[in-house]
């Protein structure tokens, strides 16, 4: 990685830049705190990414002793989610991914930090480079977050001043990225597990309602389970509603109302 022609050492196989060990927030307590921030109070992945971008911007702004904005992209292999502290950096991150050209694209491809400390004199990314300057940013730093196979993510930091990301600040950003990578992996795993559990619960609830309704039809019509299920399926098709809704309507008509199951406890 270079900044206006001056080479910066980059980490190889997990090695850190000089000074990064002292500056990087690696404690388990901070990781637990970041993980909780990403999971609690977030109803969606996009909200978790918004939280991550805000915390990243706050961390680097304190280290830089000046304002830094942050955007984060997450590609889970199906679609790309973009979040950021302010609309301009979200738009710039989305444009970077759309063009396939820019600091985020380069950081994701190489796995190395990418700094542009003098955008006015930087001739990389011919389609992209004019857009951050037009938005008022003079320096950009992108660092990759290391996720499991099938997903990739990166942070992009934006500053209005020139030469905003010297070597020491790159080291700080790498330290935060290491912490954020571990926290984001866990947060995504927890969210996936919760979604799977909710889907399973919904499927079991649907199946229970259908089975009980079939039992009601079997008792009333002295028919088999297969015949009862066929009656419900025809009603579902005729009324153009889901089979579960047909079952619930049948159960609601019972003298004592729909029976309670262990899912309702």
Integer Cα distance of 224 and 56 in angstroms: 62
Q: Confidence band (pLDDT; 50, 70, 90) for 28?
A: very low
| Top CATH class, 200-264 | mainly alpha
Helix, strand counts (H, E) of the chain: 9, 7
Please tell me the total number of residues recorded for the chain in this structure.
265
Integer Cα distance of 100 and 96 in angstroms: 6
- Least confident range from 60-64, 178-182, 228-232, 253-257: namely 253-257
Integer Cα distance of 143 and 182 in angstroms: 14
**Could you tell me the residue ranges of all domains in the chain?**
2-194, 200-264
Which is more confidently placed, 53 or 78?
A: 53
Using CA atoms of 166, 171, 174, 176 in order, give the dihedral in degrees to the nearest 10: -100
Query: Encoding tokens for residue 217?
Result: 């039809």
Name the residue among 169, 170, 264, 257 with its Cα closest to residue 208. Answer: 264
For residue 17, what pLDDT is reported? 38
- Chain segment 129-185, per-residue pLDDT in tens: 999 999 999 999 999 998 876 688 999 999 999 999 999 999 999 988 888 887 777
- Least confident range from 5-19, 60-74, 95-109: namely 5-19
CA distances from 15 to 9, 10, 174, 179 (A): 10, 8, 10, 15
For residue 78, what pLDDT is reported? 79
- 24 by DSSP, 3-state: which? coil
- Chain segment 98-134, per-residue pLDDT in tens: 999 999 999 999 999 999 999 988 899 999 999 999 9
Integer Cα distance of 179 and 169 in angstroms: 15
Query: Encoding tokens for residue 213?
Result: 């309704």
Domain 2-194 is of which CATH architecture?
2-Layer Sandwich (3.30)
For residue 7, what pLDDT is reported? 35
- Chain segment 195-226, per-residue pLDDT in tens: 555 555 666 566 778 888 888 889 888 899 88
What's the rounded mean pLDDT across residues 89-99? 96
Res. 22: pLDDT tops 60: no
Other beta carbons within 10 angstroms of residue 76's beta carbon come to 15
For residue 220, what pLDDT is reported? 86
- Chain segment 238-254, per-residue pLDDT in tens: 888 888 888 888 888 87
What's the rounded mean pLDDT across residues 55-70? 92
């Amino acid at each position: 990685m270079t900044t206006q022609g001056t080479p910066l050492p980059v980490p190889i196989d997990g090695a850190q830049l000089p000074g990064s060990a002292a500056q990087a927030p690696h404690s388990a307590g901070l990781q637990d705190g970041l993980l909780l921030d990403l999971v609690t109070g977030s109803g969606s992945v996009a909200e978790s990414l918004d939280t991550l971008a805000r915390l990243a911007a706050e961390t680097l702004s304190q280290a830089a002793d000046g304002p830094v904005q942050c955007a984060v992209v997450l590609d889970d292999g199906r679609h790309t989610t973009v979040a950021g502290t302010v609309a301009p950096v979200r738009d710039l991150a989305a444009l970077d991914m759309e063009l396939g050209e820019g600091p985020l694209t380069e950081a994701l491809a190489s796995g190395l930090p990418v700094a542009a400390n003098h955008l006015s004199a930087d001739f990389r990314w011919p389609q992209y480079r004019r857009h951050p300057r037009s938005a008022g940013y003079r320096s950009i730093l992108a660092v990759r977050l290391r996720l499991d196979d099938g997903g990739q993510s990166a942070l992009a930091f934006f500053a209005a001043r020139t030469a905003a990301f010297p070597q020491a600040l790159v080291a700080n950003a790498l330290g935060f990225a290491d912490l954020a990578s571990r926290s984001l992996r866990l947060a995504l795993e927890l969210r996936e597990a919760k979604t799977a559990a909710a889907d399973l619960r919904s499927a079991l609830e649907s199946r229970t309602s259908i089975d009980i309704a079939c039992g009601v039809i079997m008792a009333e019509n002295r028919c088999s389970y297969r015949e009862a299920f066929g009656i419900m399926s025809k009603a579902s098709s005729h009324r153009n509603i889901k089979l579960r809704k047909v079952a619930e309507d049948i159960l609601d008509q019972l003298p004592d109302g729909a029976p309670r199951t262990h899912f309702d406890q």
